[in-house]
Structure 1
């Protein structure tokens, strides 16, 4: 899938190093669990995002710069079987993460808009996302794409905000 500035494609082995660098950055993970990811966890995340396609019919894309091919991050949909209330597994759960080099450039909004355009055609219906209370940038991205606060919940002992998106 392409946008004006981006290519969203299936993950490949060569994405591992730039994604490991991204997931190893404390600022990137500040609102995504708060813990950096080691190499094995990054590898499992990459494989899980790609493998989700076969199981659920949706998954992650690696987001790259259309001009240079540089890996910017990843975005897509998953079923994490989080075991929280409400049970989010009945809907695609959107997620996105980007390297600091992309912040403030509209890359997240462009990406999240594109993946939801795909979702609206491929699998119309409600989707959800979780946005940490302090993550104002991701909340703005979610709201630009039609998400609205739905309800509070708790994940691993921490308060979270669950957003829902119901396309028109």
Structure 2
């Protein structure tokens, strides 16, 4: 578990399902990621995959909540999905974040990402990290840029164009 000034960041648990479903089924939240709201089954599978990431690899997505009232904010973390994107980046930790609509525009994504990157710097010192973002997702591209993620190339993932952004080794959060 990690804490920031305003946030608690912890590994996911089954009790997080309803909050995750609310976020991942919101068309405005997922428009640039999945393109369509996820079903209950898809969110359940995502949650189990995230818990499995922690069990198998010792890292994954964290659940982010407000410290003051425990309200759900979203998720942030690192994954290794072996996406089959070419050129491959499977050896690099891939960061991702998703913030519930009601929690957007408060700087929570940046606060959670900074904590996650500090954690990653101690776990993988000097490692490059990557993220994939829809080029149309200006808000996420702005956040990624704030943390020195730079577009490296565009490719196709699940029939959608994505920008593969890289963060040079050696950065702390």
TM range (shorter): over 0.9
Query: Which residue is equivalent to 1:166?
Result: 168
Query: Which residue is equivalent to 2:33?
Result: 32
Give the alignment partner of residue 145 of structure 1, picking from 135, 144, 147.
Answer: 147
Alignment of 1:1-168 (within 5 A): 1-124=2-125, 125-168=127-170
Q: How far apart, in 2, do the equivalents of 1:152 and 1:85 lie?
A: 10
Using structure 1 for the length normalisation, give the TM-score: 0.96
- Tell me if structure 2 keeps the 8 A contact 1:26–1:35: yes
Count how many residue pairs are aligned between Structure 1 and Structure 2.
168
> Which deviates more from structure 2 when the two are superposed, residues 66-75 or residues 48-57?
48-57
Q: How far apart, in 2, do the equivalents of 1:53 and 1:146 lie?
A: 26
Q: Give the CA RMSD over aligned residues.
A: 1.1
- Tell me if structure 2 keeps the 8 A contact 1:81–1:89: yes
Q: How far apart, in 2, do the equivalents of 1:58 and 1:86 lie?
A: 23
- Compute the displacement of 1:14 (Å): 1.8
Using structure 2 for the length normalisation, give the TM-score: 0.93
Q: How far apart, in 2, do the equivalents of 1:49 and 1:116 lie?
A: 18
- Tell me if structure 2 keeps the 8 A contact 1:31–1:134: yes
> Which deviates more from structure 2 when the two are superposed, residues 44-53 or residues 96-105?
44-53
Report the secondary structure of 1:90's partner residue. coil
Deviations 1:79-135 (A, max 9, x none): 111111121211111111111111111010111111011001111201100010111
Unaligned 5+ runs, structure 1: none
* Regions of 4+ moved over 6 Å: none
- Tell me if structure 2 keeps the 8 A contact 1:93–1:128: yes
